[in-house]
């Protein structure tokens, strides 16, 4: 996998060819980002890969293991928002390929959409590969009036002084949070930040799941000191 030297994120994906009956090395085939689905043509000549992160399909010659064609999954390569193809199926005749375009939006989709609208580069791999909210936009604006929902939390509300937090765990988390290098991208200790978020959402008495532990106890305590 190659990494962009400027943005430090992956700029290609791959398909691995593994011959199960032969002791030969794995053959990598470079395709697009986030290759998430694959299917073979009925005649056995080609394999098609859906690259969800690149909005493309890679057509591979099965005999040469080379990409012979790259097809855009969105209507036009110039479209601002992507298609995120993530499932494929050939018609038995082999003359039609059905492509499912994913629209699983989440908070990173909102961030990625804002970045694309403003012309901003992604901050890390998470938003770089997020699905932009293209299906939420139309060519014709809808000018019908609507009722605005008021904010549930005051927009000017700030975190309280840690000394005023009565719960010991939440007070410790607040102090640790203030020391995290949040101004730098991806520099916070993952285990420490996850524990802070866990307590904030689940409550200070909710036990932290063992499967979520990503660092040793020593690292956890050191980052809090």
What is the pairing mode between strands 56-61 and 27-31? unpaired
**pLDDT (tens digit, 9 = 90+) per residue, 47-96?**
999 998 888 999 999 999 999 999 988 776 666 556 788 899 999 999 99
Same domain, 127 and 179: no
Instruction: With respect to residue 148, please indicate whether it lies within any of the assigned structural domains.
Output: no
Instruction: With respect to residue 139, please indicate whether it lies within any of the assigned structural domains.
Output: no
The whole-number pLDDT of residue 111 equals 92
Same domain, 125 and 29: yes
Same domain, 25 and 119: yes
Same domain, 176 and 99: no
Give the range of the structural domain holding residue 95, as residue numbers without chain letter.
Answer: 1-134
Same domain, 77 and 130: yes
What is the pairing mode between strands 97-101 and 85-90? antiparallel
Of 134, 154, 184, the residue at which a domain comes to its end is 134
CA angle 4, 49, 86 (to 5 degrees): 90
The whole-number pLDDT of residue 77 equals 67
E strands, the chain, in order: 13-17, 27-31, 35-40, 46-51, 56-61, 66-72, 85-90, 97-101
Q: Which is higher by pLDDT, 38 or 107?
A: 38
Instruction: With respect to residue 53, please indicate whether it lies within any of the assigned structural domains.
Output: yes
Same domain, 12 and 67: yes
- For residues 197-214, one letter each, b for 16 or more C-beta atoms within 10 angstroms of the residue's C-beta and e for the rest, the string is ebbeeeeeeeeeeeeeee
- For residues 91-130, one letter each, b for 16 or more C-beta atoms within 10 angstroms of the residue's C-beta and e for the rest, the string is eeeeeebebebbbebeebbebbbebbeeeeebeebebbbb
Nearest to 46 by CA among 34, 35, 56, 58: 58
Q: Looking at the 3D structure of the chain, how many domains does it have?
A: 2
Instruction: With respect to residue 44, please indicate whether it lies within any of the assigned structural domains.
Output: yes
**pLDDT (tens digit, 9 = 90+) per residue, 129-176?**
787 887 778 888 889 998 998 888 788 878 889 999 999 999 999 999
């Amino acid at each position: 996998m190659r990494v962009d030297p400027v943005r430090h994120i992956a700029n290609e994906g791959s398909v691995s060819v593994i011959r199960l009956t032969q002791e030969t090395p794995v053959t990598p085939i470079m395709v697009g980002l986030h290759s998430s689905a694959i299917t073979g043509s009925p005649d056995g000549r080609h394999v098609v890969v859906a690259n969800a992160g690149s909005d493309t399909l890679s057509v591979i010659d099965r005999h040469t293991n080379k990409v012979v064609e790259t097809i855009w999954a969105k209507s036009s390569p110039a479209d601002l928002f992507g298609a995120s193809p993530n499932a494929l199926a050939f018609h038995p005749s082999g003359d039609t390929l059905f492509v499912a375009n994913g629209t699983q939006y989440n908070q990173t989709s909102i961030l990625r959409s804002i970045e694309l609208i403003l012309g901003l580069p992604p901050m890390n791999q998470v938003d770089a590969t997020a699905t932009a909210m293209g299906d939420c936009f139309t060519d014709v604006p809808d000018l019908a009036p609507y009722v605005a929902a008021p904010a549930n939390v005051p927009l000017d509300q700030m975190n309280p002084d840690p000394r005023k937090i009565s719960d010991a765990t939440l007070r410790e988390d607040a102090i640790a949070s203030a020391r995290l290098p949040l101004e730098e991208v991806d520099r916070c200790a993952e285990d420490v930040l996850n524990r802070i978020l866990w307590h904030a959402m689940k409550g200070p008495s909710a036990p932290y799941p063992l499967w979520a532990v990503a660092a040793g106890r020593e690292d956890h305590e050191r980052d809090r000191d």
